[in-house]
Structure 1
Amino acid sequence: MAKKKRQMAEYRYYKMPGNAVFFALQGERWRQKYEREIDFLHFHNFLEIGFCYSGSGVMTLGEQDYEYHGGDFTVIPSNYLHTTNSTPGTLSSWEYLFIDVDGLMKKLTDAPPGYVEQLIRRINSRAVFAGSMEYPRAAQLIRMVLDVTREKEAFSQEEAEGLILALLVEMARSGETDWKEAEGIGAEGRVHSDKLIFQIMDYISGHYSENLKMSDIAEFAHISETHLRRIFSSHLNMSPLEYLNRVRIHAACEYLKKTDDSIALIQARCGFTVSSTFNRNFRRVTGVSPAEWRNRPENYERQILKFRIHSEKGW
């Protein structure tokens, strides 16, 4: 039997100008009839933020349609299928920002890597469609970035980068909290243990695919296993083993979303040597089996594998 033909999706890629970590698409050119003659979705290699000044139509994010109007905005992660369609016979006015999130974070913040990783993960966890009334601060920040970029005064790039960072933090705060922060630890001890916990988290992120034991982690941190368990319980309300398994499951989710590799191969790649252990932990973290999770429609990057990809340089 012949394989079912994939729908086409278009990959619109951009190249950042010079050493920049963002650029804007602005002006009268972006007051137009959007996409009506195109019947496929597209995705980008950078985070896209769009602001609608006027007009109406339908914004498609993955498999969900939203009616848009002036004042609405979108925050769309890289590799997220989407498209915009104006109401027939009308024009819509949008302006856009494309952002290298990793590059911006490395350039502007010296926060511990664990904080940066968590912030990026929250920003990339979903696409946002919202109105200015619903998220007034985020909408205001978007407008401010676009205005600063348009005016091109002295130090406008530096000002815009700072505003974008504030915007991304605002969007991350509006998402679900990944870890609960423990209370009841003194300020002085908190500074030291914060630094240590993030060093350990980074170590686990770099070695989760190995046959990692708690004794290995404790040895890396130059602390006892008892102290290791204590600081994880204090900061994250979980044991270091549970955190390790969560990192492994998170990595497995990424492979399930982005590849057609077998579940057995993904299991091994993520540090699980026994299938029952992998399946038990996967269901504990996600609430479903690996196969069920792979087929969930919200796994937007997984949807890309269903399409024939046509690549085109961005506008």
Structure 2
Amino acid sequence: MAKKRKMKMEFRYYQMQDGSPILALLGEKWEQNYGRDVDFLHFHNYLEIGYCYSGAGELVLGEETVRFAGREFTIIPPNFPHTTTSDIGNISKWEYLFIDVEGFLANAAGTPLRAEKMVQRIYSKAFCLKECEYKSLSDKILKILDIMRGGEEFYLEEAKGILLALLAEVARLNRSSQEENIEEKGKITNMIARSIDYISQYYMEDIRIGDLAKASHISETHFRRVFTSYMHMSPLEYINKVRIQTACEILKKTDEPISDIAYKCGFTTNSTFNRNFHQLMGMSPAEWRKRPENYEQQLLKFDIHSEKGW
């Protein structure tokens, strides 16, 4: 029996200019009939914010299809399957911002815990929102688009200031009722914040969960339970996540030997590094370095085709 053929999915990746967390796609090129001869979804390596000035059509956001029209905007996390299709004969005008959320918040959000929390919230879902109902968000998006278009002196510093406010608002928008209850009951503790900060500074060393628990003045069993409840992963899983994320940055930016990177990120053996890397990223470090597609688990059922963004 022949294998069922995988559905096509396209990975469109963008590269940021050095020192900038924002890539703006502006101008007449984005005034067109979208979706011509396209029967597949795509995803990106950065958060995509799109603003629709005019036109009408359909947006596919994962498994949901919604109508769009002028004066609406989208917020779509990285690795989230989507596509835009204009109505037949309709010209739609969009402009886009691609945002390196994790890189930006790592420097702008204060502590690693706060940055991690904001990233999780921002990436939790995709939106298509009306300007009239979310004017504060819309105004910030339009302001950043205008700043990037103008390119005046210190434009990037100005855009970054507004971007932080925009991302904070999106994070609040995605606040779940479960998180509200946790905060109201006081279960988000300084203990977790201290542990996250310690891991972010000493991930390259031999971090023992018992030592983190001892520093928090609770038993190791209780520490594991509280940490996992808040972070939705075990302490060891979080340590390995930090290590692998750091390794990805080094793989992407240098040609250092993989064995050296493994040691630098806190792994004592190559086999342990390779196993954890494959578990988190879905491929080996060598494969990731050649083709850095950080797609999520649900995308593995598709036939992924890479295409550099327009």
Q: What's the counterpart of residue 176 of structure 1? A: 175
Q: CA-to-partner distance for each residue in 1:226-249, whole Å, 9 max, x for gaps?
A: 7x99xxxxxxxxx53322333464
Pick one of 217, 227, 230 that aligns with 1:224: 217
Q: What's the counterpart of residue 198 of structure 1? A: 193
Shift of 1:150: 1.0
Q: CA-to-partner distance for each residue in 1:155-192, whole Å, 9 max, x for gaps?
A: 111111111111111010011243633589xxxxxxxx
Quick one: which amino acid aligns to residue 244 of structure 1? F
> Over aligned residue pairs, what C-alpha RMSD do you find?
3.1
Quick one: which amino acid aligns to residue 183 of structure 2? E
Distance change (3 Å), C-alpha of 1:134 and 1:302: farther
Q: What's the counterpart of residue 60 of structure 1? A: 60
Q: What's the counterpart of residue 241 of structure 1? A: 224
| Pairing 1:37-186 to 2, within 5 Å after superposition | 37-109=37-109, 111-177=110-176, 178=179, 180-181=182-183
Distance change (3 Å), C-alpha of 1:307 and 1:218: closer
Quick one: which amino acid aligns to residue 181 of structure 1? E
Q: With structure 2 as the length reference, what TM-score do the two structures score?
A: 0.71
Q: What's the counterpart of residue 250 of structure 2? A: none
Task: State how far apart, in whole Å, the 2-side matches of 1:135 and 1:248 are.
Answer: 30
* Counterpart check, 1:26 vs 2:26: yes
Task: State how far apart, in whole Å, the 1-side matches of 2:207 and 2:155 are.
Answer: 49
Shift of 1:113: 1.1
Task: State how far apart, in whole Å, the 1-side matches of 2:150 and 2:224 are.
Answer: 52
* Counterpart check, 1:305 vs 2:300: yes
Partner SS state of residue 90, structure 1? coil
Q: CA-to-partner distance for each residue in 1:111-166, whole Å, 9 max, x for gaps?
A: 12111110011001111111112211111111111111111111111111111111
Shift of 1:212: 6.4
Does the Cα contact within 8 Å between 1:73 and 1:139 map onto a contact in 2? yes
Q: CA-to-partner distance for each residue in 1:79-99, whole Å, 9 max, x for gaps?
A: 111000001001000000001
Distance change (3 Å), C-alpha of 1:81 and 1:183: closer
Shift of 1:108: 2.7
Does the Cα contact within 8 Å between 1:11 and 1:42 map onto a contact in 2? yes
Q: What's the counterpart of residue 4 of structure 1? A: 4
**How many residues are aligned here?**
249
Quick one: which amino acid aligns to residue 302 of structure 1? Q
Task: State how far apart, in whole Å, the 2-side matches of 1:9 and 1:120 are.
Answer: 25
- Any unmatched runs of 5+ in structure 2? 242-274, 281-294
Distance change (3 Å), C-alpha of 1:183 and 1:9: closer
Quick one: which amino acid aligns to residue 224 of structure 1? H
Does the Cα contact within 8 Å between 1:204 and 1:244 map onto a contact in 2? no
Q: What's the counterpart of residue 254 of structure 2? A: none
Task: State how far apart, in whole Å, the 1-side matches of 2:23 and 2:233 are.
Answer: 34
Partner SS state of residue 43, structure 1? strand
| Pairing 1:258-269 to 2, within 5 Å after superposition | none
Q: Percent identity of the aligned residues?
A: 42
Shift of 1:39: 0.6
- Any unmatched runs of 5+ in structure 1? 185-192, 230-238, 256-264, 271-299
Task: State how far apart, in whole Å, the 2-side matches of 1:183 and 1:129 are.
Answer: 32
